[in-house]
Amino acid sequence: MRWALVKVCIAVTAMVVVAFAVPLALVVKEMARDRAFAGAERLAATVIPVLAITGDSDQLDRALAGTPAGTDGRIAVYAPSAQGGDAPAFGRRRVSDEDMGAVARLEGATVIPVEGGFALLQPVVTTRTVVIEVFVPEEEVTNGVATAWLVLAGTGLALVVASVVIADRLGTRMVGAAERLARAARELGAGRLAVRVPVEGPAELRWAAAAFNSMADQVAQLLANERELAADLSHRLRTPLTVLRLNAASLGDGDAAEQTREAVAQLEREVDHIIRTAREQRTQPPGAPGAGAGCDASEVIRERMDFWSALAEDEGREVRLAGVEEPVHVPVARAELAAALDALLGNVFRHTPEGTAFAVDVHHRAAGDSVIVLVSDAGPGIDDPDAALRRGHGDGGPGSTGLGLDIVRRVAESTGGDVRIGRSVLGGTEVRVWLSLGGAPTEDAERRRGHRMRRRARR
């Protein structure tokens, strides 16, 4: 924007300079020409009184030889109609016989180009017709023109430079306000809700800054209301959870009773976590791990597989677990990783028939920069993987909200990784969760997230 303003000012100033400088340069050239020929006419006028007094060649020669122009050989007198036809009374002749005869029959001075300059011919009628020739050199006709043109060119260049400086200062003022607005928009998009823009600059940018500040206030208020609503709704679940916990305690012993009590306890922990999270006033960007966040992925996966293996045994599913023998630390909170894994395994049980085998494989890259978790099954597969990754586009029938894979994707992207869906070696679906050990979203992850947000906005 700043360079565009500078280019516009350069173009406009250059057009104005050309529009005025070119005609002015031509006027200067014409004025120098007129000045030279006016001087020649004055020299010719000094000879006319001498011609009126005497026509003797010797006297005329002595009279004209005393003038500077006569000494330089610039003045000559001719009598075309005298005996001999064209014998000059004085000076060196530069004009042809035809031109002399034509000028002698005219009234007023005539300028004829000759070698090295111009000849001004002034006819004078005394006792006979006499033509006075005054030679005007070329350098006298153009005297001062080059200097005037240089002055005009310098003035035009100075005007262009001044316009560039002024445009640059104005552009800096405008672009500075626009850059502050863009920087604040990026910070707001990154989750820093306290960012505001100074209301300064041109009127339009001041309006935009005021609108941005109002929007940021509304976004912060909406998020605060959303957190309070989530906390209130989660708190309402405590009463039925208490009833479930009491009923589970009365079930007695057995695997089913133990699993029920464990599930109720896990649900109570999740509700408490939602309440605490909703009421916290976080300062870090959404999706970024908190201070000290991280867990052992192998331990979490083993724990969740123990939970789901009982249900898999009841449904006759073959389960395979690999790659969890050694500890693998990932920059994800334990609860978030467990929730993501439960979402993946829950999809297997929900969307594949009973007896369908599934597997969980953990791969730790040799470079030590990432961990890949593969959840594969031998089910019918997913027809549209891209739609499955969209938030709220679940098509798994009743009970499907379409949020499970979105939870997995957000957990992966919080580390700078991603989620891919493909065909597994078992013949069904394979979900690849790539967790980066850097602990911060990469530029590619941010670009992919922005691309998804733009697609979502278009839809």
> Which stretches of 190-202 are DSSP H helices?
none
Distance separating alpha carbons of residues 452 and 459, to the nearest angstrom: 10
What is the enclosing helix (H) or strand (E) of 405?
A: helix 404-413
Q: pLDDT in tens for each of the 459 residues of the chain?
A: 667 777 778 888 888 888 888 888 888 888 888 888 888 888 777 777 766 666 566 666 666 665 655 556 677 777 654 444 444 556 667 777 677 767 777 777 788 888 888 888 878 776 667 777 888 888 888 888 888 888 888 888 888 888 888 887 777 777 777 888 888 888 888 878 888 888 887 788 888 888 988 898 888 888 777 777 766 666 567 667 666 776 777 777 777 777 787 887 777 777 777 666 665 644 344 444 444 468 899 999 999 888 888 888 888 889 999 988 888 899 888 888 888 888 888 888 888 888 999 999 998 876 668 899 999 999 888 877 777 776 545 554 444 445 567 778 888 888 888 899 988 888 889 999 999 887 555 455 555 555 554 554 444
Residue 163: the pLDDT is: 84
Residue 375: the pLDDT is: 93
- Spell out the residues 6+ positions from residue 333 whose beta carbon is closer than 8 angstroms to its own: 289, 290, 293, 294, 295
Residue 185: the pLDDT is: 87
Strand partners, 124: 130
What is the enclosing helix (H) or strand (E) of 182?
A: helix 145-189
Contact 162, 89 (CB under 8 A): no
What is the enclosing helix (H) or strand (E) of 275?
A: helix 255-279
Residue 85: the pLDDT is: 44
Q: Give the pairing type, strands 117-125 and 110-114.
A: antiparallel
**CB atoms < 10 A from the CB of 42, how many?**
11
- Spell out the residues 6+ positions from residue 414 whose beta carbon is closer than 8 angstroms to its own: 287, 288, 289, 332, 336, 441
Residue 372: the pLDDT is: 92
Distance separating alpha carbons of residues 154 and 358, to the nearest angstrom: 83
Cα-trace Rg, the chain:
49
Distance separating alpha carbons of residues 165 and 82, to the nearest angstrom: 71
Side-chain-facing half-sphere of 140: CA atoms under 13 Å: 16
Distance separating alpha carbons of residues 415 and 438, to the nearest angstrom: 7
Residue 431: the pLDDT is: 92
Cα angle vertex 133, ends 129, 137, to 5°?
170
Strand partners, 360: 321, 375
Task: Return the amino acid letter for 55.
Answer: G
Distance separating alpha carbons of residues 393 and 237, to the nearest angstrom: 26
